[in-house]
């Protein structure tokens, strides 16, 4: 299967080509549900049924749901050959659910007495099965050793659930639920994600610099752009640590560890202590450049005369990361109101970055708060790519695609 270093991966099963093989067991009633889930996820599915499976589920139902012709034998109704070799070549994956004890034993011995088996023998190197049978059948030593053999051939097995079986018995053997099979399929595809095995550190959002316990100096950053980058890195297989300033946005992705911080000092500590060993580091946070020299421990009371705040410079997190860079691919952002490219190039060099994402706060639809952004990417050879105004999720795809390309 070809690698997909592209944001189609945001929906992992989108446009994936899957053969769904259905064998003759009562669990076949769940197969149309599995098919519906796969279609909903954007997969293209072609269904093959054994003769016995047609006793449990009709080709018509599966044809309507899959929006494809269903293969139910070696030949079509018009006596045309169902070319199983082409079908196997077309597919990214073959899923057999349910898998009966009978088909399991044929798969192990390489028996080829129906169209499903012929297709399996052509597609066996990319196959997932979901066995379903009665408890005693499942526990039979021959069935167990067949499962082990099949696994040793490289087939991935979605284990059955325990529960009430069609026979009325309780025990192992019930086919895994369609949702669990879909999760297994996604896991299978995730091994091909371009950032699989890579770690990333991202910061996002504003920082709040305390004046006193109730007031702060902050900025309008929402954190949306950096969160979109973190999510896109995770969708592409990276294990992401996100250091997030005080943003109202929520992040729900099990591959993203979120560290919440308030001030630039806390963000500095979190970034520096999580920096070592990361493959990709993206600093999109709008870190305050100045903070009060001393935050009052008590609320500052109103006086008739004005007050003067003494501000001191914050530490530049990105510059520190650039200075101590080992093998990290380091990405910065530059938000400018004028001379965007020129200032961004200056930051790229001064902070020792591998690339910088430049955007203009004065461009309509770009910058803080909104859902769109218009960026230019500059790499360390000063090559510039300009992008159109687009939703931040798509901008994140452009940024991550660029990172993937440069990591190759
Ligand atoms: N940055 C940082 N720490 C700071 C200030 C900025 O890590 N104290 C990072 C930002 O996260 C961004 C990059 O530096 O990736 C550029 O930030 P920006 O605010 O555009 O520029 P500054 O370096 O702060 O310079 P200026 O405000 O003068 O444009």
Tens digits of per-residue pLDDT, 341-385? 999 999 999 999 999 999 988 888 887 878 899 999 999 999 999
Last residue of a domain, one of 163, 190, 217: 190
Total structural domains within the chain = 2
Distance CA 102, CA 100 (A): 5
Last residue of a domain, one of 168, 190, 212: 190
State pTM to two decimals.
Answer: 0.75
Residues 104 and 230 in one domain: no
Average pLDDT over residues 201-210: 98
Let me know if residue 88 belongs to a domain. Answer: yes
Let me know if residue 1 belongs to a domain. Answer: no
Residue 385's CATH number: 3.40.50.10300
Pocket of ligand 1 (CB under 6 A): 264, 283, 285, 287, 289, 314, 316-318, 332-335, 347
Expressed as residue numbers, the domain containing 68 is 6-190
Nearest CA to ligand 1 atom 9: 318
- Does 19 have pLDDT greater than 90? yes
Let me know if residue 248 belongs to a domain. Answer: yes
Do 372 and 391 meet the contact criterion of CB atoms below 8 Å apart? Answer: yes
Let me know if residue 19 belongs to a domain. Answer: yes
Residues 220 and 339 in one domain: yes
Q: Using the structure block, give the residue that is written with the tokens 């026979």.
A: 167
Give the atom of ligand 1 at the shortest distance from the alpha carbon of 333: 15
Backbone angles phi, psi at 304, to 5 degrees: -65, -40
Residues 280 and 149 in one domain: no
Q: 381: phi > 0 → left, psi -120 to 50 → alpha, else beta; which?
A: alpha
Q: How far is the CA of 213 from the centre of ligand 1 (A)?
A: 26
Residues 74 and 45 in one domain: yes
Nearest CA to ligand 1 atom 16: 334
Residue 93's CATH number: 3.40.50.1950
Residues 256 and 303 in one domain: yes
3-state SS assignment for residue 217: strand
Last residue of a domain, one of 171, 190, 209: 190
Residues 176 and 215 in one domain: no
Q: How far is the CA of 10 from the centre of ligand 1 (A)?
A: 29
Residue-wise pLDDT for 260-273, tens only, equals 999 999 999 999 99
- Does 220 have pLDDT greater than 50? yes
């Amino acid at each position: 299967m070809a690698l997909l270093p592209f944001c189609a991966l945001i929906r992992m099963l989108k446009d994936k080509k899957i053969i769904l093989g259905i064998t003759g067991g009562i669990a076949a009633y769940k197969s149309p549900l599995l098919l519906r889930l796969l279609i909903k996820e954007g997969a293209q599915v072609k269904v093959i049924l054994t003769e016995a499976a047609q006793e449990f589920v009709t080709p018509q139902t599966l044809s309507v749901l899959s929006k494809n012709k269903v293969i139910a034998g070696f030949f079509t109704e018009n006596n045309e050959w169902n070319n199983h070799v082409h079908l196997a070549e077309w597919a990214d994956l073959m899923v057999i659910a349910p898998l009966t004890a009978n088909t399991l034993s044929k798969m192990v011995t390489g028996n080829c007495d129906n169209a499903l088996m012929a297709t399996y023998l052509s597609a066996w190197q990319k196959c997932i099965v979901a066995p379903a049978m009665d408890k005693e059948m499942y526990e039979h030593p021959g069935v167990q050793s067949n499962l082990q053999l099949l696994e040793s051939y490289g087939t991935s097995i979605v284990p059955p659930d325990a529960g009430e079986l069609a026979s009325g018995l309780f025990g192992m053997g019930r086919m895994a639920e369609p949702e669990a099979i879909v999760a297994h399929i996604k896991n299978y595809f995730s091994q091909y994600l371009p950032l699989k095995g890579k770690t990333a550190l991202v910061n996002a959002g504003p920082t709040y610099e305390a004046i006193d316990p109730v007031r702060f100096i902050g900025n309008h950053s929402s954190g949306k752009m950096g969160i979109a980058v973190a999510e896109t890195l995770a969708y592409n297989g990276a294990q992401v640590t996100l250091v997030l300033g005080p943003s109202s946005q929520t992040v729900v992705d099990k591959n993203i560890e979120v560290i919440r911080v308030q001030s630039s000092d806390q963000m500095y500590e979190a970034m520096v202590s999580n920096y070592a060993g990361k493959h990709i580091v993206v600093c999109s946070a709008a870190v305050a450049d100045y903070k009060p020299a001393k935050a009052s421990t008590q609320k500052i009371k109103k006086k008739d005369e004005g007050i003067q705040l003494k501000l001191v410079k914050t530490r530049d997190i990105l510059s520190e990361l650039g200075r101590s860079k080992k093998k990290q691919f380091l990405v910065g952002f530059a938000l400018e109101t004028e001379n965007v490219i020129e200032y961004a190039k200056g930051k790229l060099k001064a902070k020792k970055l591998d690339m910088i994402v430049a955007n203009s706060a004065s461009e309509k639809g770009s910058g803080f708060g909104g859902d769109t952004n218009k960026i230019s990417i500059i790499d360390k050879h000063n090559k510039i790519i300009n992008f159109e105004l687009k939703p931040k999720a798509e901008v994140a795809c452009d940024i991550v695609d660029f990172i993937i390309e440069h990591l190759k």
